[in-house]
Structure 1
Amino acid sequence: MGAVACFFDEPCQRVSTALSEPDRAWLLNQAAFHLRALGRLSEAVGPMRAGLDGAVRLQDWKNAAVVASNLSELDLTLGLVSDALADAGRSVEYADRSGDAFQRLSKRTTLTDTLHQQGEREAALARFREAETMQAEFQPQYPLLYSLWGFRYCGLLLAGPERAAWRVWLARPDGRSGSVGPTRADLDEARSIASRGGMVLFMADCHLHRARLWRDRAELARARALIEHCGDWRRREELEDAERAAQTWPALEPSDRMEARLKSHLPSRTLVGAGLKPAPTTPRACASHRGGTHRLGVLDYNGGLANQLPEHRHAPSRLQSERGGRQVDHRLQPGRHQCRAGSADPAGRSGPAGQRVALSAGPGAG
């Protein structure tokens, strides 16, 4: 990434005009590829779209199809389902213009996967069958879709059995069948990774899985909110099954306690901006100092990061406290990685606005 950045007049946005247009398009795609690999997904969208526009201007239809497909996958991961569908349609159009048999069939699976995520299973199934017919013509010795394209097809075919398995789970009197301790740890790790990268679709899946495994009403509400926001109706029936089962679930679950702890740590103005009703008690702050920077962190019920507040669209809020005989100004900064209570985030990691918030102030604050 460092080597590629040397050719940009503006980091990851504007390539040096001293280079030819084909070279500029290639460098934009390289920058987007590396940003995506680094987990900086939202930053990768701009250069990838600029690279696509360059390939279209050059009428390089094969590369345009590849970039449009990559952009669709990126959109989908970020929860931009309508954008993903539009870009997937463009990838099919450009693949057809290229005349490349492999690009034509593979890019159809990108479109079908997006249709599946949107809940249009019949349309997706028809498109997968079309792609598999093209596969049989392209490689008669391998008539079935395989690799990533076959994986996508299997994901659609297994949607029904997956729903049936979850319905059996939800029908159990205690909702469990053996130890789920390792499952909780795996889901916590998945949620942490998805949250850092702004992978909204995966975050919705994590919330839904947690809700069903531990009969957690708050997690179920978060799953619906994300699914509705993204237009990701692949799990519509599973979500509705869980909501029917939730009528018999206990009223207080761990995530409710997590929200209560959020309310006890964050100032009222911050809670209002995050869409939470402030608690009647006075907010408490837990500040830390490291490297000249003061930060406020909040622990969730697992001791992990309570970092999934809704997008904060208000002006930065301040929380005043006294430390070492001087006043500290804690400023809310959307898009910064949130640290644990009592410790600072030494890496200063960042992510998309709305996924994490950090309260920081003093020398060295971003």
Structure 2
Amino acid sequence: MKAQSKIILSILLCLSLILFSGCARKSEEVIRAEIKAELEAEAEANQSNTNTEINTDAQVITGLITINPSPFEEGILLDEPIVFNGKSYSEIGFQDAYFSKYLDRTLFEYSPDGPILSGQYYNNIPISVSITKDSLRLDDRNLLSAQIDKIISINNHSDLIDRTQEDYSLEFYETVFNTMIEFSMDIATYPEDIHEFILYQTDSMFKTAVDKLIDSGKFIITDGDHYVLSDVSNPSEDQGQSIEYNLQDLKNGTAIAGLVVKGNQFKAGDSTVDYTLEGSTSISGELFYDAEFWEAYIFVFQDTELLNYKIKIEFPDQYIFDQTFSSCVIRNQEELEANLTAEEIELIKSGQSLKVTMLLKDISTSYMYQSEGGIGADFISLSRIQ
């Protein structure tokens, strides 16, 4: 019996092992089949998604970001021309497509029309987009435009981030400040506290610029006639005491910042002012173009001893005008333009500025009571400030 029991147990044990091995093999086969099915399903799903993302009616185009005339604020200078209606086009514009919102704010300069790309970045930033082919059209000026299907990359980056809320450069805010102050010289009062100034209270761009400049450690000071930026709270301590003259007492031959007063015949109560600071002087600043009022190049002074001088002019009716030397009109524009590149001229006349050190000659002042007037100078030479 014992022998039979052992034989039966051995047979049962063998059967168990056979059944277990069979089940194990079957489970492995099932698992492999399931994995294969899952991979095939995933591949089909991916193929389906890919087919969904690719618009068969879209065309990928590449080129450089450019600025087109309104109504196309931004466009692309194409790497490969597009043929439309039998004609080849090297540029294309887009309505409501603002590529610049994805660009670093330090690439921008201020213009009276708002922030724009600095000159060195015009036609210099690569971009790739897909457009809808059937959206290609021409406007009444024969400008080619299209509807964007997708922005693929800008400046070789595909991870696009909206940067419109980021800060511009400190230089950008300085230009905002200097430009808006220059074009607000007819404002009657310049409170000592810039926060009480009308532009600060009414213009958001000016307010932002002032706040950013103050946060950076800059000081904004006034002599009652205009505002200037300074690295110290009292520039007279750093640059020398402010020097004031009454024009009627300013004698011909008097030296002012290395220049000599000539032609001054003003008497208190006169209606006209006409005198010259003869000689030449080197001044650093920003060159603008005023297309609305002067139709001339305006040079805004930023680094010159002349900023320390104030000339009091007593017009009729006891009206006192404090003249300062903060900018001038360039009289000999043709000579100036001969020393600028075509790109620089286009840049300046588009509303931007050019930082230069300029050698000027014979800075003259001409005013008429209750009328127009200003400061002019002759251009001699210039060097660019990098």
Q: TM range, normalised to the smaller chain?
A: under 0.3
Which of the two has higher C-alpha Rg? 2
- Higher share of residues assigned helix: 1
Structure number having the greater strand percentage = 2
Q: TM-score, normalised by structure 2?
A: 0.26
